[in-house]
Amino acid sequence: MNRRLFVALLVATLICGPRATAWAQDDPGAPRQAAPLTLLQINDVYSIAPLPNGQGGLARVATLKQNLAQAGRTPFMVLAGDFLSSSVESTVFKGEQMIAGLNAAGLDLATLGNHEFDFGADVLIQRMAAAKWQWVVSNVIDVRTGKPVGGAPPYVVRTFGSLKVGFLGLCIASEGIRSETLKQLRIVPPLEAVAEYVPALQREGVDVIVAVTHLTYAEDRELAEHFPAIALIIGGHEHFPITAAVNRTLISKAGSDAKFVARIDVNKRPSGTIEQFYELVPITNAIPEDPKVKALVDDYESRLGLELNTVIGTTSTPLDAVSVRIRAAETNAGNLVADAMRAETGAQIALTNSGGIRSDRVHPAGPITRRQILEMEPFGNVACVLSVSGKTMVDILESGVSKLPSAAGQFPQVSGVSFKVDARAPAGHRVSDVKVGSAPLDPSQTYTLTVPDFILDGGDNYTMLANERVLVGRETGTLIAVALENYIKARGTVNPMIEGRITIVR
């Protein structure tokens, strides 16, 4: 079964069946009532406020934790990495708002994800110092001290009633961290770190070992297979909920942006058997917002409104983002976005669907504000990178121009590639004279291509990418809005032009 489909069915089973509301008292006699520890898991949280669709919000997560405590539980909130970046808010505040929001919401313990390194090691250490929760970092070493970054311990032991719990914290080593940052930090392979610290926890006499990880699902499975002493893996990185058992190890990932909180009640029976009771709790407007956390969120939202008027650079020429033109021809605004994606990722070719570039207006020459960036890139799309053959690249371009002469959102805006289009020819036979840089495209050669995650998922009929090798996915990619801001700020003044990247014979 397709894993995403399996996950969707699993989540539906968990959240749609009859059950007591998660913030109310458990039913009398419920087995999890005897558990001395209630773990609340979040991961990959990029916003302190509720999402536009109404889900999530740290003020609601705070209420969930408080109400469980009032009901006699011992809630312990854990975050499995990725929160300092990336978002428009974090571009402005460099993750400060996430530290403040999670402090206010009552986070108890966290480890690092790949996006904690987006602003460099020094900013990360500053943010770690401002956090009120317990860090646990088992495999990220500051080369200047030879110890875990930010002074974090490599493992943590906590006692909850009669239950003694050991926590490890593991960060992904395989992707998504800039080479400059890795000059200051060394990431130990996760299995190597666990081999050192699981015996240390066993010597401490813990009843339960919990690995808090920001690894791929495959890496979490490998961890469980190699170290059966780990009873629970609280994981992140994938942005959709996953619940699985590998032998006796439970693996849990709670999605992203606090749309769900995974509740895991842990108990040790007199026989020594460890019991874990699992529930995926939807975070919706059915849960009231904690007033203090909401006030903090509202304050940052207000400050963000002012920050959006900040000038980030200048354009010496008007930027044409008028829909009827950008969806049927090369425009300088389209070139600017595609150039920014290619510069951010280092890919040979960039391609974005014109429907992802909004505002439907000409932005005048002069100052460019963050607000204008968000007008052009409002969807939160992420720049992903794939490895594709030259033949597949031609298929991609053919699909992009297949609706001509009609204006269509799938029309491509490109960087690093040029081509000719005969709009009179049948769809699928329109593209010719494709060049990557100045060299003719080789159908048998492999190229790196950056596209929005929307296209990676097959949006706008770009279905030919389904089986291509993904080098940078949405979990580690940069928001296109952030890439565009970075590009303009780095140059100060931009002067995008129509360059003949797409020549159309009509």
Strand bridging mode 75-80 / 109-111: parallel
Report the chain's terminal Cα–Cα distance, integer Å: 46
Contact 78, 39 (CB under 8 A): yes
- Bridge partners of residue 311, in order along the sequence: 369
Quick one: tokens of 150?
């930010």
Q: For the stretch 175-206, what's the b/e string if a residue is b when 16 or more beta carbons lie within 10 angstroms of its beta carbon?
A: ebbeeebeebbebbebeebbeebbeebeeeeb
Cα angle for residues 286, 279, 106 (degrees, 5° grid): 65
From-to residues of CATH 3.90.780.10 in the chain: 310-505
Which residues are CB-contacts of 179 (< 8 A; sequence separation ≥ 6)? none
CATH class in words for 37-304: alpha beta
What is the CATH number that goes with domain 310-505?
Answer: 3.90.780.10
pTM (2 decimals)?
0.75
Give one DSSP letter per residue of 307-360, joined into a string. Answer: HTT-EEEEESS-EE--HHHHTTS--HHHHHHHHHHHHHH--SEEEEEGGG----
Question: In the sheet that 163-171 helps form, which strands lie side by side, from edge to edge?
Answer: 155-160, 163-171, 208-214, 230-235, 249-254, 241-246
From-to residues of CATH 3.60.21.10 in the chain: 37-304
Quick one: tokens of 424?
């009179």
| Residues 350-378: tens digit of each pLDDT | 999 998 898 888 999 999 999 899 889 97
Closest CA to 97 of 299, 385, 387: 299
Cα angle for residues 299, 300, 301 (degrees, 5° grid): 90
CA dihedral 451, 456, 457, 459 (to 10 degrees): 50
Tens of each residue's pLDDT in the chain, 506 residues = 232 222 322 333 333 333 334 444 577 778 898 999 999 999 999 999 998 789 999 999 999 999 999 999 999 999 999 999 877 788 789 899 999 999 999 999 999 998 899 888 999 999 999 999 999 999 999 999 999 999 999 999 999 999 999 999 999 986 667 667 888 999 999 999 999 999 999 999 999 999 999 999 999 999 999 999 999 999 998 888 999 999 999 999 999 999 999 999 999 999 989 999 999 999 999 999 999 999 999 999 999 888 888 999 999 999 999 888 999 999 999 999 999 999 999 999 999 999 889 888 899 999 999 989 988 997 788 999 999 999 999 999 999 999 999 888 899 999 999 999 999 999 999 999 999 999 999 999 999 999 999 899 888 889 999 889 999 998 889 999 999 999 999 999 999 999 999 999 98
The residue count for the chain: 506
Closest CA to 162 of 292, 44, 274: 274
